[in-house]
Amino acid sequence: MAFKDVGARFMSRSLTYLDDSSKDITVLVATSGDTGGAVASGFWKVPGVKVVILFPSGKVSEIQEKQLTTFDENVKAIEVEGTFDDCQSMVRKAFLDSDFSSLNLTSANSINVARWLPQMFYYFFAYKQLKNKDKDFVFSVPSGNFGNICAGIVSKRLGLPVQKFVASTNLNDTVPNYLDTGIYTPKPSKATISNAMDVGNPSNFPRIQRLFQDSLALLKKEFVSYSFDDNQTREALKTLFHKYDYIADPHGAVAYLGAERFREKSPDTDVIFLETAHPSKFLNVVEDTLNIKIKIPSQILSVLNRASSKQKISTYDDFKSSLLL
Ligand SMILES: *Cc1c(COP(=O)(O)O)cnc(C)c1O
């Protein structure tokens, strides 16, 4: 029910296909919401792979929590007292920790390119559906860890004739600020209604800089970025619903805002904005904002009825003992 599912599944199948060691692999993943569910279902019952998911306590939606805590067997969910960035830094630290060297650790976050390379498909698929292929067009991508937009940029390098990328963010505006000021200042993440993008230090942004030879001037030729708050996001949800009869989720709504902002200056350019999740994953926000009831798809209903299991921790040492158990 989110775009990450395709990438996670591709990665899980590639891992078992390509890994020729007889040792089990442990996949570590930090999630601000959606990644966990995608990875849990993508890796569920994959032989030779254990999955450990870290998520920030109280900061994922009810359905998201169900999606990441109900896959037993080889998938373990750890609830962290803290933010997404705390989860992500525990994961980063674990990779450098020699106490884990026996575990054969790998990452299923988008720091692992196997997660987002298959997402290039989306950009070509969207292009295929453009009615007028002679007109300039850009993509507006709702961005958190900037993996999806990386896939877009690599698609362009592979020949997709897109002009530019609009990185649309919520209040976590590290990248838009960088484009404005030239100074890159990662910040602690702020909680928003588009929580899968609550990232203060996007792990793929250094890759984007490298793709543009670490030159801000080169980057700016093909890349713009805007930030929007929750009120604007709610207004966008309403506009999409009332004007176009389309129920977006809050992340897609942020991308729509980026598309509209871009069109203010370039009205002759077509903008494709990416919708990244089914609105039922953000049920409370969408139903409250639009004053409607959303039909929950059967895939989600089946998860809601399953028993969840999780373990609560607060420090890196807790995490370590739980992992080395
Ligand atoms: C993860 C996610 C995003 C952001 O994608 P990144 O690759 O991290 O930039 C946007 N929308 C939804 C619904 C997501 O789950």
pLDDT at 193: 95
Q: DSSP label at 277? A: B
Q: How far is the CA of 102 from the centre of ligand 1 (A)?
A: 32
pLDDT at 236: 98
What is the mean predicted confidence (pLDDT) over 288-304? 91
Range with the poorest average pLDDT among 65-69, 76-80, 106-110, 186-190? 106-110
Q: How far apart are CA 140 and CA 175, in angstroms?
A: 14
Residue 325 scores a pLDDT above 80: no
The number of beta carbons lying within 10 Å of the beta carbon of residue 123 is 25
Question: Which one of the listed residues 4, 66, 156, 281 is annotated catalytic?
Answer: 4
CA atoms within 13 A on the CB side of 5: 13
The residues lining ligand 1, judged by C-beta closer than 6 Å to any ligand atom, are 2, 4, 34, 110, 142-149, 196-197, 251, 276-277
* pLDDT-derived band at 63, boundaries 50, 70, 90: confident
Q: How far is the CA of 94 from the centre of ligand 1 (A)?
A: 23
pLDDT in tens, 170-180: 999 999 999 99
Q: How far apart are CA 39 and CA 29, in angstroms?
A: 8
- Provide the token pair at 253: 């709504």
pLDDT at 159: 97
pLDDT at 124: 97
Q: How far apart are CA 177 and CA 185, in angstroms?
A: 8
Q: Considering the chain, what percentage of its residues have pLDDT values greater than 90?
A: 70
Going by C-alpha positions, the residue among 149, 156, 278, 154 that lies closest to residue 202 is 149
* Ligand 1, atom 2, residue with closest C-alpha: 196
Whether 4 is catalytic is yes
Residue 22 scores a pLDDT above 80: no
Q: How far apart are CA 307 and CA 289, in angstroms?
A: 29
Q: How far apart are CA 253 and CA 236, in angstroms?
A: 6
Q: From the alpha carbon of 150, which atom of ligand 1 is closest?
A: 7
SS3 label, residue 59: coil
pTM of the complete model: 0.90
CA atoms within 13 A on the CB side of 171: 11
pLDDT at 148: 96
Residue holding tokens 């994953």? 281
What is the mean predicted confidence (pLDDT) over 300-308? 86
3-state SS record for 177-236: HHHHHCCCCCCCCCCCCCHHHCCCCCCCHHHHHHHCCCCHHHHHHHEEEEECCHHHHHHH
Q: How far apart are CA 67 and CA 207, in angstroms?
A: 29
Going by C-alpha positions, the residue among 197, 135, 133, 190 that lies closest to residue 168 is 197
